[in-house]
Structure 1
Amino acid sequence: MKITAADVIVTSPGRNFVTLRITTEDGLTGLGDATLNGRELAVEAYLRSHVAPLLIGGDAGRIEDTWQYLYRGAYWRRGPVTMAAIAAVDMALWDIKAKAAGMPLYQLLGGASRTGALAYGHASGRDIPEVLDSVRSHLEQGYRAIRIQSGIPGLDSVYGVAASSAAGGERYDYEPARRSLGGPSRPVEETWDTRAYLRHMPRVFEAVRAEFGPELPLLHDGHHRMTPIQAAKLGKDLEPYDLFWLEDATPAEDPTALRLIRQHTTTPLAIGEIFNSLHDYGPLLSERLIDYVRSAVTHIGGVTAMRKLLDLAAVYGVKSGMHGPTDISPVGMAAALHIDLAVHNFGIQEYMKHSPRTLEVFLTSYRFTDGLLHPSDTPGLGIELDDEAAARFPYEQAYLPVNRLTDGTVHDW
């Protein structure tokens, strides 16, 4: 199957997405997600100017060889831009191969290991009553596992708490990259107080457990905002509330940070959302310093790379917990769901519903039923892109927020 075209589509149906479409000489097409939130045009340029010309005339069936060619052949390896571009190529080639076989992708990955993938939703509120209302709403929507985020007394805005959370219904504006209000195109700046956060979150989980009981799996995202000892304290303080996991408790570039946290708490740990290579995990897996792998298929290098990462993680008893917010396009979400269904060491899948505008552009076939996700039995990834709809939503420059401490010091967002 010779590749005859590799087209890059940038569209912004509510937020920016970068999609690669590969076409073969016999008319088969495959889609890949290359979205890098807040840095989308860097990946577009990498794909359009450097990667796409290398694909023309190549064999679409040589997926592993193409992956290695793009990774090793460029000399400059890794990094989020490179790995998102490679991921898009890899997803698109797997999409083509599965379509050529007349099978959903998960069948080529070994077939289903379960009937569906347990998904967790995002409940949040500006205060504890709003958090409880949001949990009720998510339970009504069918979620069986829920991430809990809360506003912090004294702070105007907090990661994970959408402005519309009080409404309790569907929220499509959660965590978007956005412009500064009324000013030039610069990131919004938020203020953070870790001590206030550490005091407040145990009270939030105490209230949630009192209201909803001990069985509901609860998750929480620290978003890299704590030092190792602060994360150890929070993990220990949350032990009575039996979390499914504490996510991204501290920046994980230094694995010794996770060693310290492990010494002080039995709360399960998930990390890796901003990692872009299997090599980033190193001792985190071999020393069993984490319990769940958080990378996205879009940012780790595609289906090929994610499958290798999860096979290695399985050796050490570590499970999957793939990143799945709305800045992962439906193409990237579908790729994750096919892997979720196939691998033995599946843990849980993050799932946020895309906006109606996004779903005008990306025509999906995966389904969410009774708390479980299934990628569908449509051949390939099961996603198509409507070019006319995509053209109605041109790119809009936007950034993720920047975080500062109360004294003005730049902090991790």
Structure 2
Amino acid sequence: MKIVEAKVVVTSPGRNFVTLKLTTDDGLTGLGDATLNGRELAVVSYLEDHVAPLLTGLDPHRIEDTWQYLYRGAYWRRGPVTMAAVAAVDTALWDIKAKAAGMPLYQLLGGASRDRIRAYGHANGATVPELMDSVRARLEEGYQAVRIQTGIPGLKAVYGVHAGVAHQQQRPLVEDWDTEAYLRHLPTVFEAVREEFGPELPLLHDAHHRLTPTQAARLGRDLEPYRPFWLEDCTPAENQEAFRQVRAATTTPLAVGEVFNSVHDYQTLITERLIDYVRSAVTHFGGITPLKKLFDFAALYQIRTATHGPEDISPVGLAAALHLDLAVHNFGIQEYSGHTTLTGEVFRHAYTFADGHLHPGEQPGLGVELDEALAARHPYEQAYLPVNRLQDGSLHDW
């Protein structure tokens, strides 16, 4: 068996997605997600101009060797553009291998370690009453764990609180930020949600890299009475040692990693047990091959998985995550914010969501098929993620 075609498909059924489709000489196809939100076309060029010419003629069954070829062979390693492109190839190869075996992918990863995959949804509101309504809506949809994000008095636009998709525009949306106002407000939000929904509902929160280690330590400590499931991305983790200060100050569980694209980004965090959950996505970490290795590494230190699953991870990337979730023993929880109905039509998928849990389905491969004709009717739209500015106008971490 040989790869005879590598095709990149860009479509925007509500937001942009980049998909690699590999085809073999015996007609098998495999899909990989290469979406890098706000920098999609950089990955398209990387794939079309630099990677696709290397793939034709290769044996699709040699997944590990191909991963090493694309990672080590380029010399310029890591980075989100490179690793999204490598991820797309790796995922597509696993899709082909599982289809050739006539099995759902999770069976090739060791088989199921559980019957279903617990998911958490997103609840948000500009005000606390709006947040309460959003939590109720998630619970009515079946979620049994909820991430809560809310507006902050005095601020106009804050991460995690928006109406619909606010990312399709010619220039980045500018949000505003006041750390002290946030640190004062958030514990009152947790208190209100706990009073309304009780102590048993798992509540998660994303600080989105906006705090210093000292501020993160303070927040983690202030949230302890409300028993959050985790505090996510509490401080920029390029400086892994910063988490020592946070860890020493609070027992609030910590999750990090959605912007990571290499195991080296995690090494100190894992070996010193400075975090409780690894958050990387198949799409941005180089694929299924390295992410499975990361999960096994984390398991040695009693750290669990929590794969990144926002709207800009396509159904291809989400399906790949679900197969891993079902197979690995140290699974923790899966982010699932869902996709638009149109996205589900472009990417027909076997995975299901019911009673707050996901399952990848039993179709051979990933269980996702791309409707290329429908995808072509929804071309790329220029889009950016927002940026964040402090009250004095200086740029801050978004």
Is TM-score (shorter-chain normalized) higher than 0.5? yes
- Provide the C-alpha distance between the structure 1 equivalents of 2:382 and 2:338, rounded to a whole number of angstroms: 23
Q: What's 1:91 paired with?
A: 91
What does residue 138 of structure 1 align with? 138
> Paired residue for 1:346, among 331, 334, 343?
331
8 Å Cα contact 2:168-2:381 kept in structure 1? no
* Cα distance in structure 1, aligned partners of 2:71 and 2:334: 27
Give 1:256 shift.
1.8
Q: How far does residue 190 in structure 1 lie from its aligned partner after superposition? A: 1.2
**1:109-141 CA-partner distances (Å, limit 9, x unpaired):** 000000111000000111111111111110000
| Residue equivalent to 1:220 | 205
Aligned to 2:121: 121
Alpha-carbon offset, residue 178 of structure 1: 2.6
Q: Which amino acid aligns with 1:49?
A: D
Aligned counterpart, 1:388: 373
Match of 2:234 in 1: 249
Tell me whether 1:35 sits opposite 2:20 in the alignment. no
Q: 2:177 is aligned with what amino acid? A: W
| Correspondence 1:322 to 2:307 | yes
Q: Retained in 2: the 8 A contact 1:19–1:34?
A: yes
What's the offset of the Cα at 1:372? 0.8
- Does structure 1 residue 360 correspond to structure 2 residue 345? yes
- How many residues are matched? 398
Offset of 1:255 from its aligned partner? 1.3
Q: Displacement, 1:186?
A: 1.7
Verify the 8 A CA contact 1:152 1:196 in the aligned structure 2: yes
Please give the alpha-carbon distance, in whole angstroms, between the structure 2 residues aligned to 1:349 and 1:398. Answer: 26
CA drift of 1:360 comes to 1.8
TM-score, structure 2 length as denominator? Answer: 0.99
- Equivalent residue, structure 2, for 1:300: 285
* AA partner of residue 282 (structure 2): V
Deviation at 1:369, TM superposition (A): 1.1
Q: After superposition, where does 1:253-268 map in structure 2 within 5 Å? A: 253-268=238-253
CA distance in 1, matches of 2:168, 2:374: 22
The amino acid of 2:185's aligned partner reads H
Alignment correspondent of 1:182: none
CA distance in 1: counterparts of 2:95 and 2:43, whole angstroms: 20
Question: What RMSD, in angstroms, separates the aligned Cα atoms of the two structures?
Answer: 0.7
Name the amino acid aligned to 1:262: R
Corresponding residue number in structure 2 for 1:168:
none
Aligned letter for 2:32?
Answer: G
1:154 aligns with 2:139: no
Q: TM-score, normalised by structure 1?
A: 0.96
Aligned equivalent of 1:177: 167
Deviation at 1:194, TM superposition (A): 0.6
Partner of 2:188: 203
- Structure 1 runs not aligned, ≥5 long: 164-172, 180-184
SS in 2 for 1:237: helix
Structure-2 separation of matches of 1:246 and 1:336: 21
Does the 8 Å CA contact 1:37/1:177 hold for their aligned counterparts?
A: no
- Report the Cα offset of residue 177 of structure 1: 2.6
1:263 shift after superposition: 1.0
CA–CA separation in structure 2 for the residues paired with 1:274 and 1:100? 33
Q: Indicate conservation of the 8 Å contact 1:35/1:84, yes or no.
A: yes
Matched, 1:102 2:86: no
- Structure 1 CA distance for aligned equivalents of residues 314 and 120 of structure 2: 17
SS at structure 1 position matched to 2:114: coil
Q: Deviation per CA, 1:138-174: give whole Å up to 9, x if none.
A: 00000000000000001111111122xxxxxxxxx35
- What is residue 62 of structure 1 aligned with on the other side? 62
Q: Which amino acid aligns with 2:275?
A: I
Contact 1:178 1:401 in 2 (8 A): no
Shift of 1:249: 0.3
Confirm or deny: 8 A CA contact 1:178 1:188 kept in the other structure: no
| SS class of match (1:333) | helix
1:74-85 → structure 2 map (5 Å cutoff): 74-85=74-85
Give the Cα separation in 2 of the matches to 1:373 and 1:316.
26
Counterpart in 1 of 2:392?
A: 407
**Partner Cα separation in structure 1 for residue 265 and residue 84 of structure 2:** 15
Q: Which amino acid aligns with 2:43?
A: V
Work out the CA distance in 1 between the residues paired with 2:35 and 2:278.
20
Q: Distance in 1 between matches of 2:104 and 2:128?
A: 43
Secondary structure at the residue paired with 2:381? coil
Q: Deviations over 1:62-82 (max 9, x none)?
A: 000000000000100000000
Task: Please give the alpha-carbon distance, in whole angstroms, between the structure 1 residues aligned to 2:27 and 2:168.
Answer: 38
What SS does the corresponding residue of 2:366 show, helix, strand or coil? coil
- Find the residue that maps to 2:297 and give its secondary structure: helix
Runs of 4+ in 1 over 4 A off after TM superposition: none
How much does 1:108 deviate? 0.3
What is the CA–CA distance in structure 2 between the aligned matches of 1:293 and 1:301, rounded to whole Å? 15
Q: Distance in 2 between matches of 1:357 and 1:249?
A: 34
Deviations 1:259-295 (A, max 9, x none): 0001110000000010011111011000000000011
Structure 2 gap ranges (5+) = none
Q: 1:149 corresponds to which letter in structure 2? A: Q
| Amino acid across the alignment from 2:168 | R
Task: Say whether the 8 Å CA contact 2:167–2:173 is kept in structure 1.
Answer: no
